[in-house]
Amino acid sequence: MCISTETMKDIELSLLDFHKISNNPLPMLKGSFPELSFLRMADADIDEAPFRSLVNYNLYLLDGRDHCVQITNNLSDATAVVIAHK
């Protein structure tokens, strides 16, 4: 499953002010985008450049199409979004 540019923009907009409510945006994201998979990780645990850097979060895309999951910057290869609080 690929993630569209429009869906990614909607995710980013959803996160812009979310830090004021809670430090765990996953329930909100899973409720708003039930067709997608989201993971929460510490930003320090990821050695790749983020796909997008927001004020309070870095967003990474995961490609899980093969046996090994890897970070990608290609929306058409993305199967999940990693949310990393800064």
Q: How confident is the model at residue 58 (pLDDT cuts 50, 70, 90)?
A: very high
Torsion angle, CA of 26/28/31/33, rounded to 10 degrees?
-70
pLDDT for position 64: 85
Residue 5 has pLDDT above 80, yes or no: yes
Q: How confident is the model at residue 1 (pLDDT cuts 50, 70, 90)?
A: low
